[in-house]
């Protein structure tokens, strides 16, 4: 089980089947609130041909032990520690939902290690519905079920939604709640224009958690961004519409 050991913490991660080769382009995938590295399974498999795919479990998530973080800035700190510990250069950072916030926070300082960004179902500001907080605090299982229903588009199968719920329920309730509090406090609308890295912005047309207007704002205010709306996709578009998302990522990488 690959891990990075740094500053007293262990950060678990998954790679593609072919492993990591220094001569290939590397993408580090960052999951969203209450998620873990497994949400990127379709990218690990679909992009694992000539590209290094590394999917990390943020602190307190998945197989990374200990508590979660209390802010997006803290998660971003651990992301940068992670890529520096692995001595990654010219890395592409890909984030989903809260992971978009983590990636944006890391990129605002324009670290030399970063080559480009892939931003999926996120925004420069992430306001969380009070209904989500109430549901998670009152009855975590019921609140999680409601949130998962909001996260998938109308074309998603019951099997896929069931898998999404099982994945969320594996996470610690305190960590999940902390993630959404961190999201609710995140606001970098005034700072993202300073990001110089090229970006691909992706969003499902049926995303109700972070509607397309969030992605449109990113595309309009980042210095160098391309927007792609995936028809019929929900908030978990990289799971629901993996073929379209992977094709868009490959086309983006070819343009760098």
In residues, how long is the chain? 256
CB-facing half-sphere around the CA of 217: CA atoms within 13 A: 17
**What pLDDT, on a 0 to 100 scale, did the predictor assign at position 21?**
86
Supply the pLDDT for residue 109. Answer: 85
Q: What is the mean pLDDT of the chain?
A: 96
Domain ranges of the chain: 3-255
pLDDT band at residue 23 under the 50/70/90 scheme: confident
Model confidence band, residue 207 (pLDDT cutoffs 50, 70, 90): very high
82-119 burial, b for 16+ CB within 10 Å, e for fewer?
Answer: bbeebebeebbbbbbbbbbbbbbbbbeeeeebbbbbbb
Q: With bands split at pLDDT 50, 70 and 90, how would you rate the model's confidence at 85?
A: very high
Query: How does residue 170 score in pLDDT terms, banded at 50, 70 and 90?
Result: very high
**Region for residue 28 given its phi and psi (left: phi exceeds 0; alpha: psi -120 to 50; beta: otherwise):** beta
- Which of residues 111 and 186 earns the better pLDDT score? 186
Distance CA 134, CA 129 (A): 9
Residues 15 and 24: beta-carbon distance below 8 Å: no
Residue 48, pLDDT score: 86
Q: What is the pLDDT of residues 208-227, one digit of tens each?
A: 999 999 999 999 999 999 99
Query: Confidence class of residue 50 from pLDDT cuts 50, 70 and 90?
Result: confident
Q: How many CA atoms lie within 13 A of 186 on its CB side?
A: 31
* pLDDT of the residue at 204: 98
Class of domain 3-255: alpha beta
Per-residue model confidence (pLDDT) at position 140: 96
Determine if the pTM surpasses 0.95: yes
For the record, the structure tokens of 182 come out as 């961190």
Q: 15 burial class (0-12, 13-18, 19+ CB within 10 angstroms)?
A: middle
8 Å CB contact between 188 and 108 = yes
What percent of the chain stands above pLDDT 70? 100
- Sole residue written with tokens 């890295």: 197
* DSSP characters over 104-147: HHHHHT--TTEEEEEEES--SB-PPPHHHHHHHHH-HHHHHHHH
Residue 172 scores a pLDDT above 90: yes
């Amino acid at each position: 089980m690959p891990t990075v050991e740094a500053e007293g913490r262990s950060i678990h991660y998954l790679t593609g089947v072919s492993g990591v080769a220094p001569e290939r382009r590397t993408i580090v995938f960052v999951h969203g609130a209450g998620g873990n590295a497994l949400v990127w399974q379709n990218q690990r498999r679909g992009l694992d041909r000539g590209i290094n795919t590394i999917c990390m479990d943020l602190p307190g998530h998945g197989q990374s032990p200990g508590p979660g973080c209390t802010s997006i800035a803290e998660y971003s700190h651990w992301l940068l520690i992670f890529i520096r510990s692995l001595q990654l250069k010219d890395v592409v950072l890909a984030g989903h939902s809260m992971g978009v916030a983590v990636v944006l926070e890391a990129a605002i300082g324009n670290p030399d290690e970063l080559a480009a960004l892939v931003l999926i179902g996120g925004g420069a500001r992430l306001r969380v519905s009070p209904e989500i907080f109430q549901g998670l605090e009152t009855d975590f299982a019921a609140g999680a079920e409601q949130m998962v229903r909001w996260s998938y588009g109308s074309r998603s199968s019951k099997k896929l939604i069931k898998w999404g719920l099982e994945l969320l329920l594996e996470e610690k309730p305190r960590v999940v709640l902390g993630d959404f509090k961190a999201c609710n406090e995140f606001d970098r609308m005034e700072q993202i224009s300073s990001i110089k890295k090229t970006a691909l912005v992706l969003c499902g047309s049926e995303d109700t958690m972070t509607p397309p207007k969030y992605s449109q704002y990113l595309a309009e205010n980042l210095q160098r961004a391309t927007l792609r709306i995936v028809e019929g996709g929900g908030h978990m578009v990289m799971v629901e519409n993996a073929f379209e998302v992977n094709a868009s990522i490959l086309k983006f990488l070819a343009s760098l």
